[in-house]
Structure 1
Amino acid sequence: MAVALFCIQLDFFALNLAIPGISAELDVSVSAAQWTLSAYMLALGCLFIVGGRIGDVFGRRGALLAGNTLFAAGSVGCALAPGLGLLVAARIVQGVGAALVFPVSVAVVSNVFPAESRARALGAVFGIANIGTALGPFVGGGLTEGPGWRWIFWLLAPLSALALLTGVLFVPDSRDAGAPRQLDVPGALTVVGCLGSLTLTVERGSAWGWGSARTLVLLGAAVGLGAYFVRREGRVTHPLVDLRLFRNPPFVLVTAMGSVANMGYGVTVFVATLYLQGVRGLSALTAGLVFLAPALVVVGAGPLGARLAPRMRPTAVMALAGVVAGTGMITLSLVTAWWLYVPVFAWCGLGLGLGWTFATVATQQVVPPARAGEASGVVLTALVTLGAVALAAAASAIAALTPERGAEAAYDAVLRVGGGVILLAAGVVLVVRHRLVVSGRVPPLSVHAPRPATDAPDRDRSAD
């Protein structure tokens, strides 16, 4: 699982710095080359929920192997693509594979390991996977300036094959024994259409214009399909998403705080990339080296979350991550000395990395293992979709502020607003949780929990 998720993390964070190289080699505009990222995110964001539920219903081992196969094949296709069209198509294949691998991987670990070691196992998996996050900018910048961007995918192909071989040999099968082997196909098509429309709107809205007909039609389609999906899932016998998940307050709080942290992570990486290359004038490779500081801290976020899990309730860990992240983002906007920028950037990485990494670990503690894939798919969908929304908002804000204030001031303003939003979210989580404790719906915070932490009330921890 760790190798498979490592490949996905490395792929995403490496390709961001390769866009100029792709544009130059394929003789297309940077805006057109950006579709290599947009198409991947479109496939990924649309299919997380479907991928997680496919694993729960039809067997996680088969879904995982299919996802790894698609990701490896897509990597080879990207490396060989002669033009932008085939490159984008191969990126979609990669995105479909990743949408199967990510939620199913989490569910496999949740079902293989017992409750007392589950958080530690997931923390270790995400710790290794986050090495891909750490190496991504460095690998992307280095390979793009060296042998070329295609070598990013030539690196991913054998690693994905290794993950596939390991899965064939060692991963046991598991599934939701209470669910029939059938998928809510109309529900799946509806949610894919909804998320696809929303993701495409967010990804291309700034280029098309937020008031353009294409943008408004897609946004309207996303809202309409989303409303129909919620109504349908509340009526069908075997829904794609059990809406009772959203009656589990700890699940909702952890998912919301994790989404806000991931939004902050995406915005901070985006702004820092612009700042380092545009204001400081660093090359892609040197900027990648600067990113190693926060990224290496993110690597430790998975194991750190695992250590905190037996001692603190999940919502408390998420709120703590929000405080660290929010203060880090605001401080980063105030730093002028270069020697102080790197450690503050690392402080940001600690809070933001802990927030979005632990969200996936924590939600596995507050849902039944049988529906682990479904819960993971919902969480990842929220993280990725809202992260894309935050990036689009940040890009629009920077474009609006730069002519009046200048680029550096615009970057600082976006970081301050983002940090304030994360601090506010952390405060809201603690207040809501306190009210739930007072009403007796969740247990109080415990520094030394006698068993793996869970916020879920007894009825939410049961298999039904």
Structure 2
Amino acid sequence: MRAESSSAARTGAFTAVALALFCIQLDFFALNLAIPGIADEFGVTAAAAQWTLSAYMLAVGCFFIVGGRLGDVFGRRGTLLAGLTLFAAGSVGCALAPGLALLVVARIVQGIGAGFVFPVSVAVISNAFPDETRARALGAAFGIANIGTALGPFVGGGFTEGPGWRWIFWLLAPLSALALLIAIAYVPDSRDTSVPRQLDLIGCFTIVCCLAAVTLAVERGSAWGWDHARTLTLFAVAVVTGGLFLLRERLARHPLVDLRLFRNIPYVLVTGMGSVANMGYAVTVFLATLYLQGVRHLSPFVAGIVFLAPALVVALTGPLGARLSQRMRPTAVMALAGAIAGTGMITLTHVTAWWLYVPVFAWCGLGLGLGWTFSSVATQQVVPPARAGEASGVLLTFLVTLGAIALAGAASAIIAMTPERTPEEAYDTILRFGGAVILLASLVVMAVRHRLVVHGKVPPLSMRAPWPPVEADGASTRGGP
């Protein structure tokens, strides 16, 4: 059921969602540069302080699917309000934490809140705005959110060197509280009326266990050792609980995730390309941070300034994706993003001069940012509004989980290569490999799409070509993939 929204309600819902997503993006990208400051204040190692990031990623990754489906079944408004409340409370807890243990607990609370907010926010926009303005609204919301991405390293580095890392959270607490108040006043409710108000609790339990195990294994595997008993045990738990989840979803009358979603080939293509782009984004940002501070010997504050160029370009990819979607099919936009990203990552390994490094870094940000940002817009164009939260939650779970795996793989590759190569050579090798993978993924997307066009399964590439709405398991693509 889509809520009937007035112009004021749509504006209020957009403002609340955009501000909430801004806070989440700012939070994640600001704290990366604050890890040394946290370690110094609490007198712990940098590896121990890294748990503030690992715990957050663990909570976020585990609750995307649950949060998205919770909104579809029980109502997006209530789920959004609950998520914002948790995120704001967690921010205050982080700012006041007297030690690392309580800081990690508060970060978990923040992560659960973000896991509810992100997929439900996409669904709120999808159900509040009509078809003709939905893509523009989603693009603008992600554009504002990506401003948080742009400011994150700058804010994190500046606060860490200035008044202290706690001010990151003192900034987030009132902003997220403001988003909560606006949501209370304006966000209309909507839900999937085709299913009863029952949540697949067994599905929730098994998927949370699976994602928690795989995320923790990937996050800590390089520190514990990939052949350590703890790492192997966690992977085994992930395999067993993942298998139980799939079995449960096949048998459940009202599953947490309708597995028929993966028969929607455009959705699979968008999700796959978005995941690859986000993996490239995570690795590129990670390697650039190491390069700027370890090879160029820049301070966190100056490194944050360098990050402004690509991050500002990323902020523009939300509105850019919305404009491109009016002229190109969603899968074609995703393939274009991959082509830009892949060429940028490979080119970045061949430049050393600052006058060229910064614009090429920005070029990477354009392709990678467009890839992972537009994927959230594109999925809403190829699934019905009733299951918007579920589709968004599944997509975001793939983005975060595979992004964490890519980071762990990059860290392990650096450790393996550095005895024989310099760190800079190791970074370049990983970037070239990642760029080649993204380019290959773009070619695969367009090849599969061409095959579907030949068989009359999807509309031609041109938006001017006449084509009736495409049905995928009863779901209109609302414009075609």
TM-score (norm 2): 0.94
Question: Residue type of the partner of 2:104?
Answer: V
Note the alpha carbon deviations across 1:385-425, whole angstroms, 9 max, x for none: 00000000000001111121111000101100000000000
Among 432, 437, 452, the alignment partner of 2:448 is 432
| 2:331 is equivalent to residue 321 of structure 1 | no
Q: Which residue of 2 aligns with 1:230?
A: 246
**Preserved contact between residue 8 and residue 98 of structure 1 (Cα < 8 Å):** yes
In 1, Cα distance between the equivalents of 2:153 and 2:269?
Answer: 31
In 2, Cα distance between the equivalents of 1:454 and 1:83?
Answer: 56
Q: Give 3-state SS (helix, strand or coil) of 2:475's partner.
A: helix
Q: Which residue of 2 aligns with 1:212?
A: 228
1:450 to 1:21, Cα distance in 2 relative to 1, 3 A: farther
Q: Which residue of 1 aligns with 2:264?
A: 248
1:456 to 1:403, Cα distance in 2 relative to 1, 3 A: farther
| 2:134 is equivalent to residue 134 of structure 1 | no
In 1, Cα distance between the equivalents of 2:103 and 2:373?
Answer: 30
**Preserved contact between residue 74 and residue 90 of structure 1 (Cα < 8 Å):** yes
Matches within 5 A, 1:219-368: 219-368=235-384
In 2, Cα distance between the equivalents of 1:104 and 1:412?
Answer: 38
1:449 to 1:130, Cα distance in 2 relative to 1, 3 A: farther
**Preserved contact between residue 441 and residue 457 of structure 1 (Cα < 8 Å):** no
Q: Which residue of 1 aligns with 2:431?
A: 415
Q: Give 3-state SS (helix, strand or coil) of 2:349's partner.
A: helix
State the 1:462 CA deviation.
7.7
In 2, Cα distance between the equivalents of 1:306 and 1:15?
Answer: 29
Matches within 5 A, 1:109-148: 109-148=125-164
State the 1:458 CA deviation.
8.4
In 2, Cα distance between the equivalents of 1:289 and 1:179?
Answer: 49
Matches within 5 A, 1:53-202: 53-202=69-218
Q: Which residue of 2 aligns with 1:25?
A: 41
In 1, Cα distance between the equivalents of 2:58 and 2:465?
Answer: 40
**Which runs of 5 or more structure 2 residues have no equivalent in the other structure?**
1-16
What is the aligned-residue RMSD (CA, Å)?
Answer: 1.4
Q: Which residue of 2 aligns with 1:461?
A: 476
In 1, Cα distance between the equivalents of 2:100 and 2:425?
Answer: 35
Among 40, 46, 49, the alignment partner of 2:56 is 40
Note the alpha carbon deviations across 1:336-356, whole angstroms, 9 max, x for none: 211100000000000000000
State the 1:137 CA deviation.
0.2
In 2, Cα distance between the equivalents of 1:14 and 1:316?
Answer: 32
In 1, Cα distance between the equivalents of 2:381 and 2:20?
Answer: 22
In 1, Cα distance between the equivalents of 2:472 and 2:388?
Answer: 17
State the 1:460 CA deviation.
3.0
1:130 to 1:454, Cα distance in 2 relative to 1, 3 A: farther
Note the alpha carbon deviations across 1:215-244, whole angstroms, 9 max, x for none: 111101111111111111011110000011
Question: Residue type of the partner of 2:353?
Answer: A
**Preserved contact between residue 153 and residue 307 of structure 2 (Cα < 8 Å):** yes
Question: Residue type of the partner of 2:387?
Answer: R
State the 1:448 CA deviation.
3.7
In 2, Cα distance between the equivalents of 1:461 and 1:408?
Answer: 48
In 2, Cα distance between the equivalents of 1:232 and 1:426?
Answer: 33
1:118 to 1:450, Cα distance in 2 relative to 1, 3 A: farther
State the 1:457 CA deviation.
5.0
1:358 to 1:462, Cα distance in 2 relative to 1, 3 A: closer
The total of aligned residue pairs comes to 462
**Preserved contact between residue 60 and residue 173 of structure 1 (Cα < 8 Å):** yes
**Preserved contact between residue 260 and residue 473 of structure 2 (Cα < 8 Å):** no
Q: Give 3-state SS (helix, strand or coil) of 2:255's partner.
A: coil
TM-score (norm 1): 0.98
Question: Residue type of the partner of 1:398?
Answer: I
Question: Residue type of the partner of 1:236?
Answer: A
